[in-house]
Chains A and B, each alone.
Chain A
Amino acid sequence: MSFITVKNVWQQYADQVVLEGLNLNVNEGEFCTLVGASGCGKSTFLRLLLGQERASRGEILLNGQALAGEPDASRGVVFQRYSVFPHLTVLDNVALGLELPRSPLLGRLFGSAKNDAREQASVLLHKVGLGHSLDKYPAQLSGGMQQRLAIAQALIMKPRVLLLDEPFGALDPGIRKDMHALLLELWRETQLTVFMVTHDLSEGFSLGTRLLVFDKVRLDPHAPGAYGARITYDIPLNSDRRVNRAAVDALPAELAGTLRIA
């Protein structure tokens, strides 16, 4: 059975249909890139997966279970902007994800538990290349660095699904390339299933193992909101990476674990 199942999902605001009859099966560990014209519902679909919105019709299953109707720790997210907390240092931005679930009363850890959380956060931050700016505030970081931070922040939760809403849309091309390398490296190391909305078609092709194109098949010029978008193309990509991923998955768990860490 597939990891994520989308069954006949419609999304409609008042008389505007955004998505219609969406059906999709995604296996665990796939890297789906979502492309399409502006306003064709890619981001809406991402918000449905995130739980920020609920589908008007149809259902989305995660591992056979209906998706929780609000955002939770099983799905990490990186937005184009406003993904990091301006009032926390880089280190605390990431450590926050370890503090919140463990301290339901104060949302804050103390003493050795706090040092522990900061230690873990620091390890991850070194990995994404932010080891030298642990004590800075996000406003002191460049756009690319902020997105690195946002990714680290999402990954510290070890989510099973990572949702990216045009995460590199505001970055320079050179920085963007570095971010692609980082993202692929992290994807290889983890079991992550990634959904990434992008406006950049080449980004969609080079990163994904699967490219989903959103478009309206029907169009009524007199009522532009009458019909919604569907997935018009579903293209498997980068088969080498898919094969690698499948081969690693076929190995016994403990061996696969050491491979991933290495």
Chain B
Amino acid sequence: MRLINRHPDRPSRLLLVILPFALVLFAYFMGSAERLTDNPNDKLLPSAVQMTDAVKRLAFTADTRTGEYVLWQDTASSLRRLAIGLGISALAGLCLGIAAGTLPLFGAPLSPLLTVLSMVPPLAILPILFIVFGLGELSKVMLIVIGITPCLARDLEQRAREIPVELLIKAQTLGASTWTLMLRVVLPQLLPRLLISLRLMLGSAWLFLIAAEAIASTDGLGYRIFLVRRYLAMDVILPYVVWITLLAWLMDWGLKRLTQRAFPWYEGARA
């Protein structure tokens, strides 16, 4: 049978899903064990025990100086920044996208502007953000907002243009004004697309968050990783990276489920 016609059945699919993860873990711990037998003080590839100890210290032991649990404190700070940034971006992207995609008079000036803005590398203007907004929370949130809003807006503009003109005409024959047309026809059709765009932009949002935290912050997941880098503390960095990955994956999964639940009519949600 040709390879293209061979499909894994349920159990073998599960096996195939687990296999690459298992291989990566196996390779890591083999390497780790080998290095640690050579030199018990090796810091590069910490063992599972060392990493568990680090997690215990950071997540389940109160910091002696501040009395806080470092991992949870970092997570809360980072997630708050991410949520505010994503929320503002989603709202701004939706408004800009709808305006540019449905109203030709708004699209004419907005569309080229958004295209140019989305080409500005956000990290290149990070210094400007620090200068303008200071080193506080605002500049970190703004980096996320500036980084992903133009891309979101462009995507939604494109989706708004893809709404068949027949539907817009039909809505007008049903007595819609420009405003009610956008409210009841364009907006609801773009909401599931917004969630999908957000999922695609999650990676960039995390990137900008960690970059901002690495450079100027006093807490946050990105801050911690860059702080302990000085001590070559791979036993902290690796669990943090895994934790960030898990959080990002959970957000992606949550958004996917939300799209399916909230917009049962949307075909793309099933994919």
A96-113 CB contacts (< 8 Å) to partner B: 96-97, 99-101, 103-108
Q: Is B164 located at the chain interface by the 8 A CB criterion?
A: yes
A 121-143 contacts with B by CB, 8 A = 137-139
Residue interface mask B164-185, A partner, CB < 8 A = 1: 1011011111111101110111
Q: Most A CB atoms within 10 A — which of B170, B177, B183?
A: B170
Q: With A and B bound together, what is the CA distance between A153 and B176 in angstroms?
A: 13
Residues of A within 8 A of B189 (CB): 85-87
**In the complex where A100-B184, A103-B180 touch, is A79 in contact with B166 (Cβ < 8 A)?**
yes
Residue numbers in A under 8 Å from B267 (CB-CB): 139
Is B226 at the interface (CB under 8 A from chain A)?
no
Give bound CA distance, A96 to B167, whole Å.
13
Q: Is the CB of A157 within 8 A of B174?
A: yes
Measured CB to CB, the closest approach of chain B to A82, in angstroms, equals: 4
| Interchain CA distance A52-B167 in the complex, whole Å | 12
B-side contacts of A72, CB under 8 Å = 172-173, 175
**In the complex, are the beta carbons of A97 and B265 less than 8 A apart?**
no
Distance, CA A87 to CA B189, complexed state (A): 6
Given A52-B169, A71-B169, A86-B265, do A97 and B175 touch, yes or no (CB 8 Å)? yes
Q: Is the interface of B mostly helix, strand, loop or mixed?
A: helix
A75-97 contacts to B, CB under 8 A, are 75-77, 79, 81-88, 96-97
A97 & B174 in contact (Cβ 8 Å cutoff): yes
The answer to the question of B266 belonging to the interface, with a C-beta cut-off of 8 Å to chain A, is yes
Query: Cβ of B266: which chain A residues have Cβ within 8 Å of it?
Result: 86-87
- B170 in contact with A100 (CB, 8 Å): no
Q: Is A50 an interface residue (CB 8 A)?
A: yes
In the complex the two chains form, is B265's CB within 8 Å of A137's CB?
Answer: yes
Bound together, the chains give a CA A56 to CA B80 distance in angstroms of 57
B170 touches A79 (CB 8 A): yes
Check if A32 is an interface residue, CB within 8 A of chain B. no
A85-B185, A87-B266 known; A106+B170 contact, CB < 8 A? no
Residues on B with C-beta less than 8 A from A76 are: 173
Number of A-B contacts (CB under 8 A): 89
The residue of chain B having its C-beta at the shortest distance from the C-beta of A70 within the complex is B172
Contacts of B263 in A (CB 8 A): 87
**A159 contacts partner chain B, Cβ-Cβ < 8 Å:** yes
How many residues of chain A have a CB within 8 Å of chain B? 37
Interface positions of B from 254 to 271, Cβ below 8 Å from A: 263-267
A154 within 8 A of B: yes
> Distance (Å) between the CB of B255 and the closest chain A CB?
18
Q: Which of A85, A100, A154, A157 contacts B167 (CB 8 A)?
A: A85
Given contacts A82-B164, A137-B265, A139-B265, contact A153 B175 (CB under 8 A): no
Min CB distance B104 to A, Å, is: 13
Given known A82-B166, A100-B180, A108-B184, contact A87–B265 (CB-CB < 8 A): yes
Interface residue from A83, A86, A106, A138 paired with B180 (Cβ < 8 Å): A106
- A interface footprint on B142-175 (CB within 8 Å = 1, 0 otherwise): 0000000000000000000000101101111111
Chain A residues contacting B171 (CB-CB under 8 Å) are 85, 96, 100
Task: Give CA–CA (A101, B179) in the complex, Å.
Answer: 12
Which residues in B have their C-beta under 8 angstroms from that of A175? Answer: none
User: In this assembly, does B136 line the interface, its C-beta being within 8 Å of a C-beta of chain A?
Assistant: no
**Bound CA span A81–B169, Å:** 12
Any B CB within 8 A of the CB of A256: no
Q: In the complex, what residues of A have CB within 8 A of residue B180's CB? A: 100, 103-104, 106-107
The reply to whether the CB of B188 lies closer than 8 angstroms to some CB of chain A is yes
Q: What CA separation (Å) do A108 and B179 show in the bound complex?
A: 12
A-B contact pairs, 9 of them (CB 8 A): A71-B169, A77-B169, A81-B164, A86-B265, A96-B174, A137-B264, A154-B173, A157-B173, A157-B174
A-B pairs, top 6 by smallest CB distance, nearest first, are A107-B180, A101-B175, A82-B164, A71-B172, A82-B166, A97-B174
Knowing that A73-B173, A73-B175 touch, tell me 7 more A-B residue pairs with CB under 8 angstroms: A81-B164, A82-B167, A82-B170, A87-B265, A103-B180, A105-B179, A154-B173
